[in-house]
Amino acid sequence: MPVKIYWLHNFENGSKLGIMARPRGNEWLEGEIISLKRQE
């Protein structure tokens, strides 16, 4: 399941600040972590 990150701010040093819903856990957790890694 895709995870949507809402980016709030880009800093001058290249860092970003964002928010997202918390991962659901259990059998969903692995898919959500993989989705987050793809967005980096």
Higher-confidence position of 14 and 3 = 14
SS3 13: coil
Q: How many helices (H) and strands (E) does the chain have?
A: 1, 2
Task: Give the pair of three-digit tokens for residue 19.
Answer: 């928010």
pLDDT by residue (tens digit) across 15-40? 999 888 877 777 778 888 888 888 76
Give domain limits for the chain: 6-38
CA angle 16, 2, 6 (to 5 degrees): 30
Task: Give the per-residue pLDDT at 2.
Answer: 72
Please tell me the predicted confidence (pLDDT) of residue 40: 65
Contact 10, 21 (CB under 8 A): no
Q: Give me the pLDDT at residue 31, please.
A: 81
